[in-house]
Chain A
Amino acid sequence: MEDFKRLEEIAKTIRRNILTMLNKAGSGHSGGSLSITDILVALYFGGIMKYDAKRPNWEDRDRLVLSKGHACPALYATLAEVGFFDKELLWTLRQLGSPLQGHPDSKKLPGIEASTGSLGNGISQAVGMALAARVLKKKYNVFCIVGDGEMQEGLVYEALMAAGHYKLSNLIVIVDNNGLQIDGQCKDVMNIYPLKEKFEAFNFRTYEMSGHIYKNIMDTLTTAKRNVVSPTAVIARTVKGMGVSFMENRVEYHGVAPSDEELEKALKELE
């Protein structure tokens, strides 16, 4: 119980940093960053992922691939919080010369495992990493966060097919099922449901969880890591814009940064 409280407090800090960096940048993706914050906090602060911020290239580390790369502010804020790089860098987001590019760049920032941004490519690269562990005789896990709108990309299903075929039990795909994309609700733009059955059809063991209740996230991801026979999918029920009342479930906040006024209001809510 204590520990979940700790994670919630960390998530508040990270949400504040996300909104502040987006505000300073003047552009970027608010909604989808806030919807994955709790999942990232569980992965990096809850003991789910094995990593060493001082050795970003440690061969045995678990990997996280943010396939929905546009939500990188959440990843940047998390990586900074665990010490992959100086927190001051957060305020350079999207500026010329900053390693914090508009979408994650593995060549520029420690802790970024794969360059993503073009939806669909991240999950396939994650499959490659999981398969590489087999050749290298390593035990690491690969976590991959995909958007629910991203599930419309055909490439995703090529990746799932390969993961199922090669029985990549070290691969854990987490779907940020916030129900929204850019042009509206996923079910209206291009229906992606049912999701669970899709994953199961590709021979994934599939779980559903809340993406914001720490006990639920921790229990599910801990169970997911134990799977040794097949890849695992975790469909996380999330709220786009989570934590900021006026952004929650609002498609308008997909790709806009908070104004000064909005930032002030949001930071108050996250005190």
Chain B
Amino acid sequence: MEKKATREAYGKALIEIGKDEKVVVLDADLSGSTKSSEFKKVYPDRFFNMGIAESNMVDVAAGMALSGLKPYASSFAVFISGRAFEPVRQSICYQNLNVVLCGSHSGISVGEDGGSHQAIADISLMRSLPNMKVFVPADYNEAYNIVLATVKMEGPVYIRTSRAKSPIITEDKNFESGKAAVLKSGNDVSLIACGMMSYIALEAALLLKQDGIDVEVINSPSIKPLDEETVYKSAKKTKRVFTIEEHSVIGGLGSAVSEFLSENLPVYVHKIGIEDTFGESGTKDDLFCKFGFTKEAVAKRIKDRLNG
């Protein structure tokens, strides 16, 4: 299976949308890592390195949007959602500006850099802001198409990408905000995933199949707006919902699903994610083992919950 990182898609897609002369790209001394450097190679006059000053980068993007440009600003997810949170709130979201923010190196799959660099609350932070849309691509194809789709989108967008390569599991097709996709239909349990966890969810579903548990796997790249219809339909059918994300169980996809279902179709929901703790150094694979992000661990967890 072909493996590529979602951050690579960000860089490649920027080149494509760069044909639009209103597109400008900003980075904060991490362009090689976020892959915004790809854009710089082709459109050096519309690329702006803002130095290690994330807050200013976000406000500058706001000023550019107010002047009619379409800015894309990137850094590590931990910095763009953390250090720059205040400008994201005050300038980007409060004014509902057409700015796309990209946080790369999200989650624990950052690996060796450790907990200081692993964003575990960025979805939660970004999702809580009025006007902000939050997209978490499952793979390279989805990331690429998300970036293409944002050119015509009104209002602020946060795209969460990853450092690590991961299998390509979605088709190369147009992205629609607020749409989830059923990757595998099933009748016993709904498993709603985003990011790299969508692949693991699929794998876990195969394991559970052997135990006679028929899992419906849903890939939900659009955390906000959430595809309520798809979630509702699936929950109505299975009455048992699991969510999985490479993010804290507080405030992310699991919370979005729970918030919706608790008001509209109260069913059992169990959130799989990072259990209100920080990450640490290690290889991505070692960390995924430790944090329970393997097909075996996920399958076991679902089985245990169903039995208990």
Interface centre among B51, B56, B65, B66 (most CB of A within 10 A): B56
Report if A128-B66 is in contact (Cβ < 8 Å); known contacts: A121-B59, A135-B46.
yes
Q: Which of A127, A128, A158, A161 has the most CB of B within 10 A?
A: A128
| Residue among A121, A128, A158 making CB contact with B64, cutoff 8 Å | A128
Overall SS of chain B's interface = helix
The answer on a CB contact under 8 Å between A135 and B60 is no
CB-defined contacts of A105 to chain B, threshold 8 Å: 94
Query: Do A118 and B86 form a contact, CB below 8 Å, given A125-B91, A158-B55?
Result: yes
Residues of B contacting A159 in the complex (Cβ-Cβ under 8 angstroms): 56, 59-60
The answer to whether A132 touches B95, judged by C-beta atoms less than 8 angstroms apart, is no
| Also in contact, A155 and B63, with CB within 8 A (given A107-B95, A117-B90, A135-B69) | no
* Residues on A with beta carbons closer than 8 Å to the beta carbon of B68: 59, 132, 136
Q: Say how far A261's CB is from chain B's closest CB, in angstroms.
A: 36
Interface string of A146-176 (1 = CB under 8 A from B): 0000000001001101100110000000000
How far apart are the CA atoms of A30 and B138 in the complex, in Å? 53
On whether the beta carbons of B91 and A114 are closer than 8 Å, the reply is yes
Q: Which residues from 125 to 150 on chain A have a C-beta closer than 8 Å to any C-beta of chain B? A: 125-133, 135-136
Say yes or no for A38: interface residue by CB 8 A criterion. Answer: no
- Asked whether, in the complex, the Cβ of A125 is within 8 Å of the Cβ of B53, the reply is no
A131 to B90, CA, bound (A): 20
* B-side contacts of A120, CB under 8 Å: 55
Q: Which of A125, A136, A161 contacts B63 (CB 8 A)?
A: A125
Cβ-defined contact, A128 with B90, below 8 A: no
| Contact count band on B | 20 to 34
Looking across the interface, which residue of chain B has its beta carbon closest to that of A114? B66
Overall SS of chain A's interface: helix
CA distance A127 to B51 in the complex (A): 14
Q: How far is the CA of A118 from the CA of B62 in the complex (A)?
A: 14
**Shortest beta-carbon distance, B172 to chain A, in Å?**
31
Chain B CB within 10 A, most for which of A107, A118, A121, A165: A121
**B60 near A131 (CB under 8 angstroms)?**
yes
Does the CB pair A125–B50 fall under 8 Å? no
B24 near A124 with CB under 8 A, answer: no
Report whether A131 and B53 are in contact in the complex, using a CB–CB cutoff of 8 Å.
no
Residue A115 at the chain B interface, CB threshold 8 Å: yes
Contact B24 A114 (CB under 8 A): no
Whether the pair B90, A121 counts as a contact (CB closer than 8 A) is: yes
Whether A133 lies near B91 (C-beta < 8 A) is no
Chain A residues near B87 (CB-CB < 8 A): 121, 124, 155
The reply to whether A114 and B95 form a contact with Cβ atoms under 8 Å apart is yes
Q: Are A115 and B64 in contact (CB under 8 A)?
A: no
* Cα(A158)–Cα(B86), bound, Å: 14
Q: Is B48 close to A, CB under 8 A?
A: yes
- The complex places the Cα of A133 from the Cα of B87 at a distance, in Å, of 21
Q: Is B202 an interface residue (CB 8 A)?
A: no
Assess whether A162 is in contact with B60, with CB atoms less than 8 Å apart.
yes
Q: In the bound complex, how far is the Cα of B87 from the Cα of A267, in angstroms?
A: 39
**Partner pick for A135 among B45, B55, B90, CB 8 A cutoff:** B45
B67 touches A155 (CB 8 A): no
The 3 closest A-B pairs by CB, nearest first: A128-B63, A124-B59, A158-B56
Binding site for B on A (CB under 8 A): 59, 65, 105-107, 113-115, 117-118, 120-121, 124-133, 135-136, 155, 158-159, 161-162, 165-166
Give 14 A-B pairs besides A125-B59, A161-B53, A166-B48 with Cβ atoms closer than 8 angstroms.
A107-B95, A107-B96, A124-B55, A124-B62, A127-B63, A128-B65, A128-B67, A132-B24, A132-B68, A133-B67, A135-B46, A136-B67, A158-B56, A161-B51
